[in-house]
Structure 1
Amino acid sequence: MGDTVLCREGYGSSRVKKNYVSTNDGQLVVVDRSPTGTSVSHFFRSVFLPQGYPESVSQDYLEYQIWDTIQAFASSITGTLAAQAVLKGVGVGDENATVLAATMTWILKDGTGMLGRIVFTWLRGSSLDCNSKRWRLFADILNDLAIFIEILAPNFKSIFTPLVCTAGVCKSIVGVAGGATRAALTQHQARRNNMADVSAKDGSQETLVNLAALLCNLALIPLVTGRQTLIWFLYVIFTCLHLYANYSAVKCVVMETMNQSRLNLIVKDLLDSSHIPSIQQTNQSEPVVFSKLLCNSAKDLKELLLIYKENPYLLGLNLKQGEIYIALSEGSGTADQLQSCYQAEVINYVYENLYKNKTLHSSLSPIVRALEAGDVQGTLTASLAYTNSTIEAFRQGMLQQGWALDPVLLNANEWRARWDSDGVTDKKDF
């Protein structure tokens, strides 16, 4: 009798294979059936990639990480150039410089950075989840600006400290925005409740990149010291690479969650072609620079209460300023947030196309007539009727395309109102 294979074992979708064989003499032997070189690649995969890759992460993971690696390398190079400039500015190598002056400059730089971190988190912390792509790109642009200021600062001795403090504030904002959006992207990439593993392996990848950049910097710094033209040339080259890599990184991310930008694109495509676009198509079209979205305001409250008295939200319109404002009730939920923003996008679509001689669907005619007449109340009533008649089909179409409708990242704050069905409102709740 020959050897008998009792069990075959494989590591996920990789080519690492093992057979457990029973020999003629009753021994159990493990036979490695992996192709040549697989063990080495398996080692590096296990060190730098999440367990279960690629099934355990989103489809955009690899492309994003490649661009992220490139941008991290470029940022490390320019960061070293900036560090050298700051050290020169505080007096390293200058016999006339004092330890006290250098220490005070460093303390002021760190202190203003801490204050900047607190203020930025207070002002913008709640919007980082909703627009993670935009804030990620914003953080990297601001990081390049901070590096520019630090390289420039030693040339202006009289205002060196204010300049490095400004750079410190910029870098503190980068830390908050970059860290928060990295967490949001990690949550998107982790598909097996493995956020910790994805985050840890991302840290390992970044450490490896920084080590590679460190070796380059060891060779680069002696060559550029004292040569300002070469320093600025390298800064421009690596900054352009850094920005391009970051733009490519955020553009390749395909998120299934709903935010205002993606909702805007979906509603436009739906009303143009009666078709809900795919997740991939919408993400490719999503802008990654800041644009004006819905605004908050409060006008003609009594009229709004009459129109929306049975609804869990109020939606108002200011035609003169082109603003839409929404107030949510105490009992409103995720579905109500989506519906209110859907109605706002319908009004916005009709408003944008009103004078473009574009033929709109007949179901939008009441909204068109009201807007042409400047009738705000009529516009709100007609758009609410249209929303109520189409919202369920809209939700079902979204689900069929694979969109996640809970949670929705529409940047709703914590203010909530309460009104009775007869339109009477307790003023203390506003």
Structure 2
Amino acid sequence: MAWLLNFILLYMVTGNQFLIWFCFICCTSIHLYSNYRAVKCLKLRTFNRTRFHLAIQQWFKQQFNDIQYSMLMSNNIDNINKIPKYLLMNQSFPHVIWVNESEPIIYKTDQPIIIMGCSLYKLPIEGQKLLPNLIQLCEKYNYILYCPNWEAVQQGNSIIPLTMYIVLFSESKPLDQLKAMLHVELIAFIVKYPFKTTLPHKVLEEIIKAKNYYEFLQSTLNLVNQLWNPFINSLQSNHDWNMDSFQFAADIWRLHRNE
């Protein structure tokens, strides 16, 4: 049937430039749209960097909007040192369908540049100088995060591009990579939204007052640790997401503890 239609169509368009280009544009448009819809219909359950960025940024918005509203209602914004646990437990994680529908195909999201699994030699010189202290601070988390733009983050300045280096230990598991990505996205969220409109001042006070990168990293780790268990519980309550593996495009280099 297709063979017969091809011959009929060939006979119709021969010598007719307008009809040739009209058929070409119509068929190409239908083909591209069909492929676009086919991709958009996929429901991918495994996190890659873009899907995780979209999902976790939405989760942060839900969390911190509730926190801000609760503090406003209690007139106690500047006196709280920790995020209330009852607020952290109340938000569900964005659904697979919403994230897949939100994932762009043509354009890129505003996610930071992440160099995951980088070697020590790929770190900026400033980061390499801090390595002994950073290893001591981060070894129990099985990753080291270095953000060369940390002072701009601290001041709430817009950074383009925001770059993050993640060194993974040899014992690093998929959940360690997930925590590193949570850490990255938390810093990206702090950059994207003004401090006073998202979190109580006291929660961010350590980050704002950090005098060096070691203190900055320690303060952001403290905030990540507050969010980690509620984040995992929220993620596990949404049974559609795959928690066994992730597609974060990590390089194969790993840091051995005896190096």
Q: Would the TM-score normalized by the shorter structure come out above 0.5?
A: yes
**Shift of residue 318, structure 1, vs aligned partner:** 2.2
2-side partners of 1:414 and 1:326: how far apart?
Answer: 12
* 1:247 equivalent in alignment to 2:87: no
Contact 2:146/2:165 (<8 A) preserved: yes
| Greater RCO, CA 8 A, separation 6+ | 2
Change (3 A) 1:396 1:215: farther
Contact 1:312/1:331 (<8 A) preserved: yes
Change (3 A) 1:365 1:230: same
Contact 1:347/1:367 (<8 A) preserved: no
1-side partners of 2:170 and 2:219: how far apart?
Answer: 25
Q: TM-score, normalised by structure 2?
A: 0.70
Which one-letter code corresponds to 2:165 in the other structure? Y
1-side partners of 2:102 and 2:249: how far apart?
Answer: 20
2-side partners of 1:360 and 1:221: how far apart?
Answer: 63
Contact 1:271/1:361 (<8 A) preserved: no
Contact 1:312/1:328 (<8 A) preserved: yes
Change (3 A) 1:226 1:377: farther
**Shift of residue 310, structure 1, vs aligned partner:** 2.8
2-side partners of 1:267 and 1:258: how far apart?
Answer: 11
User: Which residue does 1:316 correspond to in 2?
Assistant: 146
Which one-letter code corresponds to 2:99 in the other structure? T
Aligned length: 206
1:231 to 11, 20, 28: 20
**Shift of residue 377, structure 1, vs aligned partner:** 3.6
* 1:384 equivalent in alignment to 2:224: no
1:280 to 74, 80, 97: 97
1:288-322 alpha-carbon deviations (Å, 9 max, x no partner): 23536533251213423243233311111121752
**Shift of residue 360, structure 1, vs aligned partner:** 1.0
* 1:295 equivalent in alignment to 2:120: no
User: Which residue does 2:190 correspond to in 1?
Assistant: 350
User: Which residue does 2:177 correspond to in 1?
Assistant: 337
User: Which residue does 2:197 correspond to in 1?
Assistant: 359
Change (3 A) 1:293 1:359: closer
1:146-197 alpha-carbon deviations (Å, 9 max, x no partner): xxxxxxxxxxxxxxxxxxxxxxxxxxxxxxxxxxxxxxxxxxxxxxxxxxxx
Contact 2:135/2:144 (<8 A) preserved: yes
**Shift of residue 251, structure 1, vs aligned partner:** 1.5
Q: Matched residues, percent identical?
A: 27
Which one-letter code corresponds to 1:280 in the other structure? I
2-side partners of 1:364 and 1:287: how far apart?
Answer: 33
| Structure 1 gap segments, 5+ residues each | 1-211, 421-425
Q: 3-state DSSP class of the match of 1:405?
A: coil
2-side partners of 1:419 and 1:364: how far apart?
Answer: 32
Change (3 A) 1:228 1:389: same
Give the root-mean-square deviation of aligned CA atoms. Answer: 2.5
**Shift of residue 375, structure 1, vs aligned partner:** 5.2
Change (3 A) 1:366 1:238: farther
* 1:258 equivalent in alignment to 2:47: yes
Change (3 A) 1:345 1:214: farther
Contact 2:112/2:162 (<8 A) preserved: no
Which has more radius of gyration? Answer: 1
Superposition pairs of residues 97-108 of structure 1, within 5 angstroms:
none
1-side partners of 2:221 and 2:103: how far apart?
Answer: 26
Change (3 A) 1:290 1:375: farther
Change (3 A) 1:342 1:232: same
Contact 1:261/1:286 (<8 A) preserved: yes
Q: 3-state DSSP class of the match of 1:331?
A: coil
